[in-house]
Amino acid sequence: MGVPVWSLDPRTGKRREEAGVEASAGEVDSAVRAAAAALPALADRSVRARLLRGAAGALERSAAEVIATADAETALGVPRLTGELARTAFQLRAFADIVDEGAFLDVIIDHPDPTAQPIPRPDLRRYKIPLGVVAVYAASNFPLAFSVPGGDTASALAAGCPVVVKAHPDHPATSALCADLLREAAVAAGLPADTVVLLHGFEAGTALVRHPLVSAAGFTGSIPGGRALYDAAAARPRPIPFYGELGSLNPVVVTQAAAAERAEQIGAGLAASFTLGTGQFCTKPGLVLAPAGADGDRLLGALTDAAKGAPAGVLLDSRMRDNFLQGAAARVALPGVTAPVGPGGGPGEVAAEGEGDGDDLSVRPGYVVVEARDLTDAERGAAYDLLLEECFGPLTVVVRYRDDAELAAVLDRLPGNLTATAHLGVREAERDGGAAAALLARLTALAGRVLVNGWPTGVAVAAAQHHGGPYPATTSTSTSVGGTAIERWLRPVAYQDTPPALLPPELRDGNPLGIPRRVDGVRE
């Protein structure tokens, strides 16, 4: 027996029942064991590739139903969800191509060398194998691309790992529909349906990360929730890797030269970026360092105009809306902080709980301003720590700095981030070395992706992509987007002096599978 799963209607904020049940401890155990039983069947790379392509096709064939279901639960809108489904299908196929190529196995062969110094070298052959069952925790703000059929699931399946997904309570019906499509694709590829298993419920999420047959976990969500699961994963009798994406400010530095050249363009671009998706992107620019003076004033003027013109948007549930409004109010209340555009209305206003143009979950974008000297004051700086925390929703913090020393002092206070952006003047961007190069080096220490003269919202699915960063952006050095995300679910093993007949095909002489390899130091 299970407890009915419920979520919050994004248009009314009221609790509603959903198909599915909150899993008991026994059901979590059964789900993980069923997934573990599917592990041997995933050993065939061609079958894995067929599953991934079949899953992409199944999503596309059911696109109308998937998008309608997701929109009813999240109110993210058909255009946004149409793009997200296309992205999800693309990354599934991209991982199928990676599986076919085989380079992710990182095969290295060193033949024996009795003359090697300082000691003779034995025959050594190394490659990577799947970890085992992977627990995936779906994200609230991406019901497709970072949830049941998303990147963590796709990369884990590509690595050869069965997946148990803990659905997010904001979109349980979408999760169930997508899980059914993936399970059908598994069967069509010749794999057990339990290659992908779905669970609902808060307690189920905790039980999942503690299950002895779970070998790794991927999470996208809040710092408190992710840290609790990370600690549980580390406290197990056999600790497991926990790849969590938790929170990020995504700082933006606007240099004096950039502000002088294009203040209005930067202000408008910032407004478009931090309000995109009602500020519910993990790469939203949440802290912007703008120069003091007339050029910085022009930037804020353009930002004010654009932010005031931005429409209200819907947050995913009433808890998130309440947290956003309370967080905005707390930031505005700090000494010396001003709100040229406050969430919910005009200058300085912060919407009261329950306000919102006939929609219980709607909010209006806004931004606050603080002087760098206040944020970095030796005695009072700690009072402004809240400004250095992510605020989920359409709010950004603008820090006005007077000189390079104040800019550096603010950067010294920042935690780890997914992204960091520099807006540079044309000449300083073209100069080899100098202040711009030093700024990029400083931002590189803070983030996993460094941008120049752009905006961080939007994460391209590409081989060179890195979506990660120093804590608390993530709990590891890996990426959750791009081809190298597969590396999270693999571990290396070396065979020494193993008879050829007992070697895995990937490690045999003659390369029968045609995999990219390095043999005796030479790439094949």
DSSP string, 68-88: HHHHHHH---HHHHHHHHHHH
Residue 467 domain-assigned? no
Residues 293 and 221 in one domain: no
Query: What CATH number has the domain bearing residue 360?
Result: 3.40.309.10
pLDDT of residue 344: 54
Contact 427, 257 (CB under 8 A): yes
Same domain, 391 and 486: no
* Contact yes or no for 18/173 (Cβ under 8 A): yes
pLDDT given for residue 244 in this prediction? 97
Work out how many domains the chain is built from and give that number: 2
Q: Domain check: are 435 and 301 in the same one?
A: yes
Q: In the chain, what are the helix, strand and coil shares in percent, each to the nearest 5?
A: 45, 20, 35
Q: Are strands 447-452 and 417-423 parallel, antiparallel or unpaired?
A: parallel
242/277 same-domain check = no
Contacts of 457 (CB under 8 A, 6+ apart): 273, 274, 276, 277, 281, 283, 284, 285
DSSP 8-state secondary structure symbol assigned to residue 113: B
Together in a domain, 233 and 85 = yes
My answer on whether 220 and 322 are in the same domain is no
Domain assignment present for 4? no
Pull the structure tokens for residue 116: 């090697």
Cα distances from 292 to residues 36, 296, 401, 402, in angstroms, run 58, 5, 6, 5
Task: Confirm whether 294 is domain-assigned.
Answer: yes
- What domain range is 37 assigned to? 19-246+477-491
DSSP state of 121: B
- The tens digit of pLDDT for each residue in 279-301 reads 999 999 999 999 999 999 999 99
**Residue ranges in the chain modelled with pLDDT below 70:** 1-21, 344-360
CA distance linking residue 285 with residue 288, whole number of Å: 7
Judge residue 476's burial from the number of C-beta atoms within 10 Å of its C-beta, 0-12 exposed, 13-18 middle, 19 or more buried.
Answer: middle
In this predicted structure, what is the pLDDT of residue 10? Answer: 44
Distance CA(426)–CA(135), nearest Å, equals 46
- 286 and 153, same structural domain? no
Helices (H), 102-133: none
The answer to whether residue 469 sits within a structural domain is no
- Residue 20 is predicted with a pLDDT of 53
Q: What pLDDT sits at residue 237?
A: 97
Residues 137 and 258 in one domain: no
Amino acid at site 218: G
Q: Cα–Cα distance between 408 and 435 in angstroms, integer?
A: 12
Catalytic residue numbers, as ranges: 245, 282
* 98 and 195 within one domain: yes
pLDDT per residue as tens digits for the range 48-79: 999 999 999 999 999 999 999 999 999 999 99
State how beta strands 522-523 and 163-166 pair: unpaired
Rounded Cα distance, 210 and 233, in Å: 6
Indicate whether 196 and 318 sit together in one domain.
no
Q: What is the pLDDT of residue 348?
A: 40
> Domain for residue 140, yes or no?
yes
The angle subtended at Cα 474 by Cα 470 and Cα 476, nearest 5°, is: 80
Helix axes 45-61, 172-188, angle to 10 degrees: 130
